[in-house]
Structure 1
Amino acid sequence: MTADRSLEARGVRLGYGDRVIVDELDLTVPGGRITAIVGANACGKSTLLKSMARLLTPRSGSVLLDGKDIHRLPTKRVARDLGLLPQSPIAPEGITVSDLVSRGRTPHHGPLARWTRADDEAVAQALDATDTAAIADRSVDELSGGQRQRVWIAMALAQQTDVLLLDEPTTFLDVSHQIDVLDLLTDLNRDRGTTIVMVLHDLNLAARYADYLVAMAGGHLYGAGDPGVVLTAETVRAVFGLDSRVIPDPLTGRPLVLPIGRHHVPAELIGRA
């Protein structure tokens, strides 16, 4: 999504069965930037992302893509504009890495369209970018959790959408590959102008990589804006119920959260922000 595209939620109320998870939430995603959504477990982060990806219809309110209700747009058109990496994707049994990544090209094909050189190039670039080209012929079933996660990201990249939504993209990855993935998403944003919206659990990675930070609590928007403004000790306490100190990251100047627990912390700091 380049800066002239738009994605927003207006007064969305979301839930499953009789349970309301997100209530009357408004959010405008900055076009052409990286947005990270943070919050405690079960606060509605993934539910909000599903509604923005057209997987969950709001009970009230609407999600708008370029000013149009995303749930009323043709499925294929949405798939060409918006890609999603869900939290726990499931691959068909026995499928190879290259075949799974190739499925990212499906939205670009009509009923009679043939596979083209552009499709080959998109898949090859996605495999290279995620360091999965060497395992392209292997079955996804044989891979480690971290390898599978990189393959799913490759499929999302092969889709070449303007908007990319990712639910916990660093899950199952070791520290090195977490940084690789977030660097990759930053490159995608800077080189192609792709809008990135991702749910992250690591507050410090969210603060370092996001241009725009969204903090959720209890199904509501607690705060949204520049990470340096949103991510404070007060926010950490309100959203996570955790005392902390927030200091400037010595490498980036962004907020760095230092949790305060009951152990390994000087007694005079316990309970202080």
Structure 2
Amino acid sequence: MTVAHHLAAEGLTLGYGDRVIVRGLDLVVPPARITAIVGANGCGKSTLLRAMARLLSPRAGTVVLDGKAVHSRPSREVARILGLLPQSPLAPEGIVVADLVGRGRHPHQRPLARWNARDYEVVAQSLEATGIADLADRSVDELSGGQRQRVWIAMALAQETDILLLDEPTTFLDVAHQIEVLDLLTDLNRDRGTTTVMVLHDINLAARYADHVFAMREGEVIAGGAPSDVITPELIRHAFGLDCLVVPDPVSGTPLVLPRGRHHSAAASRTDPR
């Protein structure tokens, strides 16, 4: 089992150039749980994740990891605790799958040290867990978008961190592989207690797989809690500007968002037999 670390944002203000994206944000990540961050495009979800992973320095406030500012801690120390799968990672040209996944072991190795049995074991397990063991010797350049995404997830798993941050982990994946990846992350959380924070665009997948949901709008957290408490018609309207129904998912019982399209009433009247 992993260690239940404390990860939080306190008065966090973030931006790029002259533009402020996130302002005065407070957030506490529930340890050993799966958290989804949802919201409309441009609301600051990915920016927040980058700051939590030490890739973006705050303009004000701080990201706190176990009582210390994460940006003040040594990089290798943080990398043993916290791993990140960014939205559009780039692989070195010509690298093969096993070598890229193996880069996840770097925080656990001393400089210039040779691989040990544990390194090989973890990489093999990560390849197997993501269903890409048969691609181990293939060049990443040759893979489809969905296959590449699973390679990056395998690399994140190989890092063996207690906290895993994922920015749109289902990008490029078809529906079946989206479910496989989210099931994999759920198993990792349930079996190892890995604290998982995901940015997701699909509100229904967030509701089904997350224990806790944060909803963002214009750089602020406007709601946080269990999916059944957060995902309501009022919240969806406020965060996304979308009129909808929210009903129980017939499979999971979690909230299921059904958008009311502009032509919903007209379509219904055309098919109404009365």
Shared fold, TM over 0.5 = yes
Residue 176 (structure 1) aligns with: 176
- 1:62 equivalent to 2:59? Answer no
Match of 2:198 in 1: 198
1:265/1:157 CA distance change after superposition, 3 Å: farther
The equivalent residue for 1:106 is 106
1:131, distance to aligned residue in structure 2 (A): 0.5
Corresponding residue SS for 2:118: helix
Secondary structure in 1 matching 2:198: strand
Residue 155 of structure 2: SS of its match in structure 1? helix
Shift of 1:267: 7.7
The answer on whether the counterparts of 2:105 and 2:119 sit within 8 Å (CA) in structure 1 is yes
Gaps spanning 5+ residues in structure 1: where?
none
Q: CA deviation at 1:113?
A: 2.3
Mapping for residues 72-83 of structure 1, pairs under 5 Å = 72-83=72-83
Counterpart-to-counterpart distance in 2, 1:268 and 1:202: 25
Deviation at 1:5, TM superposition (A): 1.3
Residue in 1 that maps onto 2:229: 229
- String of CA shifts for 1:142-169, please: whole Å, max 9, x gaps: 0000000000000000000000000000
Question: Any conservation in 1 of the 2:85–2:152 contact (CA below 8 Å)?
Answer: yes
1:8-27 per-residue CA deviation (whole Å, 9 max, x = no partner) reads: 00000000001000000000
Which residue in the other structure is 1:41 paired with? 41
Deviation at 1:268, TM superposition (A): 8.9
Question: What is the aligned residue count?
Answer: 269
Q: Does 1:71 align with 2:71?
A: yes
For 1:261, the equivalent position in structure 2 comes to 261
In 2, distance between residues paired with 1:223 and 1:252? Answer: 22
CA RMSD of aligned residues (A): 1.4
**Contact 1:236/1:242 (CA < 8 Å) preserved in 2?**
yes
Give the conservation status (yes or no) of the 8 Å contact 1:2–1:162.
Answer: yes
Going from structure 1 to structure 2, the CA distance change for 1:101 and 1:4 (only over 3 Å counts) comes to closer
Q: What is the rounded CA distance, in whole Å, between the counterparts of 2:202 and 2:4 in structure 1? A: 30
Q: Output the CA distance in 2 between the equivalents of 1:201 and 1:265.
A: 26
Residue of structure 2 in register with 1:31 after alignment: 31
- How far off its partner does 1:263 sit? 2.0
**Mapped contact 2:13–2:22 kept (Cα < 8 A):** yes
Amino acid at match of 2:160: Q
Partner Cα separation in structure 2 for residue 204 and residue 4 of structure 1: 27
Q: Which residue of 1 aligns with 2:19?
A: 19
Partner of 1:90: 90
* Counterpart in the other structure of 2:166: 166
Question: What per-residue deviation string (whole Å, max 9, x for no partner) do you get for residues 160-185 of structure 1?
Answer: 00000000000000000000000000
Shift of the alpha carbon at 1:251?
1.4
Aligned-pair identity in percent equals 70
d(CA) in 2 for partners of 1:96, 1:2: 29
Show structure 2 runs of 5+ residues with no match. 270-274
- Residue-by-residue CA offset, 1:97-126 (whole Å, 9 max, x unaligned): 000000000010111422011000100000
Cα shift readout 1:22-71 (whole Å, capped 9, x = no counterpart): 00000000000000000000000000000000000100000011111000
Q: TM-score scaled to structure 1, two decimals?
A: 0.96
CA contact (8 A) 1:95 1:139 kept: yes
What is the distance in 2 between the residues matched to 1:80 and 1:3?
11
Counterpart-to-counterpart distance in 1, 2:152 and 2:224: 28
Normalised TM-score (structure 2): 0.96
